[in-house]
A and B are shown apart, each in its own frame.
Chain A
C-alpha cells in the first residue's frame, strides 16, 4: 500500500514536471506528498536524529561525492539544474529519501528484515524513476538506490542519504 502510494506520487510528479509550466509545482508538491509517508513513525525508526551528527553530515558529503564523481570525472555534458528549480530539487530529494529509505525501508524491515528493506526500497526506487529516465539510465539509478539503502542499513542513518541526495540533485 505504501509502495503503491509512493509510486503513484513519483509517476504523477514525473508526468506533470515534463510540462515546463508545471515543473516547479510538481516537484514541490511531489516532495511534500512523499514526505507525508513518514507521518506517525518515530524519528529513530526512520534513521533520523542528531546523535553522531558529525558522522552523519560527513557521510552525506561522502555519498554526494560518490554520486557525482562519475559525471564530474567523465563528461562536461552534465544536465545542469536550472537555478529556479533549486528549492524544488531540495523538496523532492528530501521527500524521496523520507519515502524510500525512511518510511518504505522501515515498513519493509518490520515485515521481512533488513534484506527485504534494502532490496525492496531499491526496486521501488528504480521503478519510480522509470518514467523520468531513459531505460539505459535505470542501472545507474538502481545502483544509486542500493548504495543509499545499504548506508541506511549499515549506519542506521537517513541523514547522510538525505544530504548526499540533496547535493547531487542540486548539482545535476
Chain B
C-alpha cells in the first residue's frame, strides 16, 4: 500500500511539474527548432538570435507579375504570390519587404506566439497570397494568424489553413500590413490541427489500460481464490 501511495504521489508530482512548462515533458530526441525572437520569453531567452528580415523583387512581364515567394532569411515567414497577384499598373517590377516589428505589440485580447512582422510591397495585391509563419516548439501553438493595418490594432483573425508542416501556421491574405500568429488571451487551450492525434492516442491508452485491467484483475482474483482453496479443504 505504501508503494502504491508513493507511485501515486510521484504521478501527481510529475503532472504538476510537466504542467508548469510548455509543452510538458518530452525527451528531446527531435533536433531543436530554434526560433529567433524579437521579445523572447525568459524560458527561450538563452541563445536567442535576432530575427531576420526579407526582401524580394518581382519582375513584371507583359503586364503580369511573376509567381514568386518572399521569405525572411531565417525562414520564419514565407509569403507566396501567384502569377498576376499584383496590380502592376505602370510598373516593371515590384518590391516586397518583410521586417520583424520592434517593440512587440501586446494587444489585451490576444496572445501572440510569434514575432509580429510588417509585410509591405510597392503595389497592392489583387489575388490571395499564401502566408506561412513558423512558430517555436517551446510555446503553445497559435490557433490563428492575425492581421492589422496599424500596430495599435484592431487585430483581425485571418484564420488558419490545414497545416502543411509541423510548427507552422498558414493562411491567405489579400492585404499587406502587420501579421502575427497567436490565440485569444482567454483561450485555455489553443487549438491547432497539428496535434489532434496526441490527445486521441492518450485517450486510447487510458481506455486500453482500463479495459485490459479488468480481465487482469479477474485473473488475479481467480488465482488468489485457487491459492486459498487448498487451505479451506485442509480446514474441513
Residues 145-172 of chain A, each 1 if its beta carbon lies under 8 Å from chain B, else 0:
0110011011100000000010111011
Q: Can you list 23 A-B contacts with CB-CB less than 8 angstroms, sorted by A residue number?
A: A17-B31, A27-B29, A62-B205, A70-B14, A70-B19, A71-B23, A71-B198, A73-B199, A74-B189, A76-B192, A76-B195, A76-B196, A77-B141, A79-B23, A82-B30, A92-B27, A129-B27, A140-B18, A144-B25, A154-B3, A168-B26, A169-B29, A172-B27
- Please provide the chain B residues from 1 to 42 with a CB less than 8 Å away from any CB of chain A in the complex: 3-4, 6-7, 10-11, 13-33
Please name all residues of chain B whose beta carbon is closer than 8 Å to the beta carbon of A154 when the two chains form the complex.
3-4, 6-7
Taking the complex as formed, is A85 at the interface, i.e. its CB lies under 8 A from any CB of chain B?
Answer: yes
Contact residues of A: prevailing secondary structure: helix
**Does B212 reach chain A (CB closer than 8 Å)?**
yes
Q: In the bound complex, do residue B216 and residue A69 qualify as a contact, i.e. CB atoms below 8 Å apart?
A: no
How many angstroms between the C-alpha atoms of A61 and B203 in the bound complex? Answer: 11
User: What total of chain B residues lie within 8 Å of the partner, measured CB to CB?
Assistant: 58
CB of A77 within 8 A of CB of B195, answer yes
Judge if A39 is at the interface, Cβ distance under 8 Å. no
Residues of chain A at the chain B interface (Cβ within 8 Å) = 14, 17-18, 20, 23, 27, 54-55, 58, 61-62, 64-82, 85, 88-89, 92-93, 129, 132-134, 136-137, 139-144, 146-147, 150-151, 153-155, 165, 167-169, 171-172
Q: Is B195 touching A137 in the complex (CB atoms < 8 A)?
A: no
Decide if A132 touches B28 in the complex (CB within 8 Å): yes
Q: Which of B169-196 contact A (CB under 8 A)?
A: 189-192, 194-196
Closest 10 pairs (CB-CB, A-B): A71-B24, A154-B3, A70-B18, A77-B141, A172-B26, A70-B24, A143-B14, A132-B28, A143-B17, A65-B205
B contacts, CB < 8 Å to A: 3-4, 6-7, 10-11, 13-33, 43-44, 46, 135, 137-141, 166-167, 189-192, 194-196, 198-199, 201-203, 205-206, 208-209, 212-213, 216, 219
- Taking CB atoms, residues of chain A closer than 8 Å to B43 are 134, 136
Chain A proximity of B141: nearest CB distance (Å) = 4
- Nearest CB in chain A to that of B6: its residue: A150
